[in-house]
Amino acid sequence: MPENKFIVRIKRQQRPDEAVRWEEYELRYRPHLNIITCLRDIAEHPFTRDGRESTPVSYEANCLEEVCGACAMLINGQPRQACSALVDGLEKPIRLEPLTKFPLIRDLQVDRSQMFESLKRTKCWIPIDGTYDLGEGPRMAPAAQEIGYPLSRCITCGNCLEICPKVNAHTQFVGAAILSQVRLFNMHPTGAMHAAERLEALMGPGGIEDCDNAQNCVKVCPKNIPLTESIAAVNGQVIRHAIKSWLFGLD
């Protein structure tokens, strides 16, 4: 193979009910190339390495700067964002596969709407009385902001669910991203007023008890969110809430 070429192997599946096939593409190397550009190169010339005409690869992508969360996939077996995965740092041939913990749509594209549903079920928002002018928000110590801000950078990419052994067909575990969001909303001065509702949503099946403390999540988070700290914090809150409810019958 010429020196300025490299190979990308892609797991293709035209529809969820159709057969899986692997395809190999030979691409031209350029410095700073990322996986997104590889996929665009294929779309411009959708011919496999052995010269067979194929179709452009389906995948999700939007911001291309690792802040929207869209382009998560398995790259050499690791869940990560395709935009920030530079060809330079990857072992060749490069292997691309869709995330496995979410329903497949096509090729590298999956349906992650379950995460947004979980955010809904756990009431991950700050209740406000209305958008009319009610004056300033609550004051917040800079130190509190410095805990909250990193949590609020979660891009809902799903990497932490992908890597988690407890997210599988037999559980309904919401996953680390959602637990961390609950921590974020529970620590906000207004959000704290409604913490009990969020904790109760985490007490049933699929909630905090499903976490096995494998601690894989924190290693694949592209935003370095302290997910294990969040899980520990929320676990503490759930236990305290359960004890209080048991002792007093109410919060």
Partner 1 sequence: MRHPRIIVVGGGLAGLMATIRVAESGVPVELFSIVPVKRSHSVCAQGGINAAKNLKGEGDSTWQHFDDTIYGGDFLANQPLVKGMCEVAPAIIDLLDRMGVMFNRTPEGLLDFRRFGGTLFHRTAFAGATTGQQLLYALDEQVRFFEAEDKVKKYEGWTFLSAVIDDGGICRGICGMDLKTMEIRTFPCDAAIFCTGGNGAIFGRSTNSVVCTGSAQSALFQQGVYYANGEFIQVHPTAIPGEDKCRLMSESARGEGGRVWVPKQAGDKRRGKDIPEGERLYFLEEWYPKYGNLVPRDVATRAIHKVVFEMKMGLPGEPAVYLDVTHIPREVLDRKLEGILEIYEKFVGVDPHVEPMKVFPAMHYTMGGLWVDNANQATNVPGIYAAGECEYQYHGANRLGANSLVSCIYGGMLAGPAAVRYARNVEQGCENTPSSAFDRERVRQQDINDALLNQHTGTENPITIWREMGDVMTENVTVIRYNAALKKTLEKLDELSDRYKKINLQDRTQWSNQTLNFVRELGNMLVLAKAITLGALARNETRGAHYKPEFPSRDDANWLKTTKASYKCGNITLEYEPVDTSLIPLRERKYTAAK
Binding piece for partner 1, criterion CB under 8 A, among 91-99, 111-119, 193-201, 212-220: 111-119
CB 231 within 8 A of CB 239: no
How are beta strands 94-97 and 5-12 bridged, if at all? parallel
Q: Does 145 bind partner 1 (CB under 8 A)?
A: yes
Q: Does 192 bind partner 1 (CB under 8 A)?
A: no
Binding mask 31-70 for partner 1 (x = CB under 8 A): -xxx-xx--x--xxxx------x-xx-xxxxxxxxxxxxx
Among 1, 20, 128, 239, binds partner 1 (CB under 8 A): 128
Q: Does 110 bind partner 1 (CB under 8 A)?
A: no
Report the half-sphere exposure of 245 (CA within 13 A, side-chain side).
11
Cβ-based neighbour number of residue 51 at 10 Å: 6
Size of the site for partner 1 (CB under 8 A): 71
Q: How far apart are CA 177 and CA 206, in angstroms?
A: 13
- Residue numbers 67-86 binding partner 1 by CB under 8 A: 67-70, 83-84, 86
Tokens coding 218:
């924190």
Q: At what angle do helices 176-187 and 142-151 cross, to 10 degrees?
A: 160
Tokens coding 194:
């409604």
Among 119, 160, 179, 217, binds partner 1 (CB under 8 A): 119
Q: Does 21 bind partner 1 (CB under 8 A)?
A: no
